[in-house]
Amino acid sequence: MGFTIAVAGKGGTGKTSLCGLTIRYLKEKKRGAILAVDADANANLNDVLGVKVHATVGKLRETSLEAIKSTAPRPGGMSMEQLFDYQIQQALIEAEGFDLLVMGRPEGSGCYCAANNIIRKYMDKLADTYPFIVMDNEAGLEHLSRRTTQDTDLLLIISDSSVRGIMTAGRIGELVKELKLNIKRAVLIVNRVQDRELDSTLQKVIDQQGVEFAGFVPADELIFDYDLNGKPLIQLPPDSKALTSYFAVLDKLIP
């Protein structure tokens, strides 16, 4: 299996933006093929990456459930797993330097166990073909309790420069330990820092969280402008202060 990077954090911290810039980093460094997975129900990683979504795993999950219940013959006599393999290939968005798979909205009513088992098995198989997998998780802690980020090499916990945000990041770190998830390394990155130096009060709060502090990313007016005008953040100019600072952090984290 490839090197897996998961991105987590509370909403509004720029989690998805940094996930997109992580993909750009790997692409520019030519580290190998990248599978990007948008596991946030409020999917917008594609906007950061500048690609359009034509299908989601969530929709395929519903289709699979209907197929399981149906007595009608499947196309070409395919098994349920063969049918889903074909559908996943259709949902995979191929872009320059990376492929994107969007999980889509959360489960509705009814039992999705059979369809979910097929999805999980296929995701494991798909991940084996990529040197790098980057997953953007939904905001909050629920995805950890559902163990959607287990078997992860690097967990990037994103916070803004507020005390509350950093304490939330600390709770994510605690939950990782409590659930005994197979996450080899979890680090805290503080995003949108207004001043070049973190003040001593904030640094003290960071030190109290029990999570390795990897660095910070300064606030960048260019990111605000790109978001305002609907421009993909993956197209930020190379002299963007957020981009250069974040790349320097990743240089120390990714082999």
* pLDDT tens digits along 140-151: 656 565 555 557
72-91 in b/e burial notation, b at 16+ Cβ within 10 A? eeeeeeeeeeebbbebbeeb
Q: 174-206 pLDDT, tens per residue?
A: 988 888 888 899 999 999 998 755 678 888 999
Give the model's pLDDT for residue 193. 92
The proportion of the chain whose per-residue pLDDT surpasses 70, expressed as a percent, equals 80
Strand 93-95 versus strand 98-102 pairing type = antiparallel
In this prediction the pTM is 0.87
Answer yes or no: is pLDDT of 167 > 90: yes
Answer yes or no: is pLDDT of 229 > 80: yes
More confident call, 6 vs 61:
6
Q: 27-47 pLDDT, tens per residue?
A: 999 878 999 988 877 778 999
Mean pLDDT along residues 73-89: 70
**Nearest Cα to Cα of residue 15 among 173, 170, 134, 171:** 134
Q: In angstroms, rounded to a whole number, what is the distance separating the alpha carbons of residues 169 and 164?
A: 9
Give the model's pLDDT for residue 127. 76
Answer yes or no: is pLDDT of 86 > 80: no
Answer yes or no: is pLDDT of 76 > 90: no
CATH of domain 3-251: 3.40.50.300
- The sign one gets for the Cα dihedral 22, 24, 30, 34 is positive
Query: Per-residue confidence at 118, pLDDT binned at 50, 70, 90?
Result: low
Answer yes or no: is pLDDT of 75 > 80: no
Answer yes or no: is pLDDT of 105 > 70: no
The ranges assigned to domains in the chain are 3-251
Query: Per-residue confidence at 88, pLDDT binned at 50, 70, 90?
Result: confident
Give the model's pLDDT for residue 138. 81
Q: 43-55 pLDDT, tens per residue?
A: 789 999 999 998 8
**Nearest Cα to Cα of residue 19 among 1, 32, 4:** 4
